[in-house]
Amino acid sequence: MIDRIAFGVVALLLLLSALRVVTSKNLVHSVLWLGLTLVTTAGAYLLLSAPFIASIQILLYTGGVITLMLFGVMLTRRGEDIAIPNESSEGGRALILSLATFGLFTGAVLKTPLPQEAPPFTGSTAELGREILGPNLMAFEVLSVLLLAAMVGAIVIARRRDPGSQRPSLGLRIEAEAKSQEGKS
């Protein structure tokens, strides 16, 4: 019984917050709703007896969401108003696309035979670890190489700048200044 209630609350929160992500008129609100959506997804994982995935979901996505928000504010902020507009114009096409995705997922869920009872709430972390580092080691390693490639790419893009305008960072300049002051005295 309490499972059902918990599922109802999580599902409702998930739907509402996901809806608010796209309907919010303010970028920061949108991103905060996205944060709530991801945290509620962790709640759904918890109800599915996957506590490790749930905590990792919170751990990883909070960092991601907060970074997204920072970029949202730093790249789009104009003027003095704290409200950052977040207008969407492609409503019709987005609706078709999301309906199609919904249909696809619904079809997949209906076709898959699912267990009727939730598996017992145990620490599944050890089995998960053995599964990942045992039979699925190859896929796991390929994934980490992919992430490494993404990281290297990001660094290369971030470091590419005009060679003429290279200035040391503020901290280095302050330190150089302090050193030259020390040299004088």
By the rule CB under 8 A, 56 interacts with another protein: yes
Scan for tokens 């019709």, then name that residue.
Answer: 92
Please say which residue, 22 or 125, places its beta carbon nearer to another protein: 125
Query: For residue 98, what is the enclosing H or E element?
Result: helix 91-111
CA 42 to chain centre: 12
Q: Which member of 75, 78, 81, 162 binds another protein (CB under 8 A)?
A: 81
Binding mask 14-43 for another protein (x = CB under 8 A): ------------x-x---x--x---x----
Tell me if 35 sits within 8 A of 21, measured CB to CB: no
Q: Which member of 18, 44, 58, 68 binds another protein (CB under 8 A)?
A: 58
Instruction: Report the alpha-carbon angle 88-93-98, nearest 5.
Output: 95
Cβ of residue 123: shortest distance to another protein, in angstroms? 3
Q: Rounded to 5, what percent of the chain is helix, strand, coil? A: 75, 0, 25
Q: Which member of 9, 133, 152, 174 binds another protein (CB under 8 A)?
A: 174
By the rule CB under 8 A, 181 interacts with another protein: no
Q: Which member of 8, 63, 103, 153 binds another protein (CB under 8 A)?
A: 63
Q: Phi and psi dihedrals of 13, rounded to 5?
A: -60, -40
Q: Which member of 5, 109, 158, 170 binds another protein (CB under 8 A)?
A: 170
Q: Phi and psi dihedrals of 64, rounded to 5?
A: -60, -45
Instruction: Report the alpha-carbon angle 52-58-60, nearest 5.
Output: 95
State both tokens at 40.
């509620």
Cβ of residue 43: shortest distance to another protein, in angstroms? 12
Given the rule CB under 8 A, which of 11-19, 74-82, 99-107, 109-117 is the region that contacts another protein?
74-82
- The site for another protein, by CB under 8 A, has a size of 31
**Nearest-angstrom CA–CA distance, 96 and 112:** 24
- Which residues bind to another protein, rule: CB under 8 A? 2, 26, 28, 32, 35, 39, 51-52, 54-56, 58-59, 62-63, 66-67, 69-70, 73, 80-83, 122-123, 125, 169-171, 174
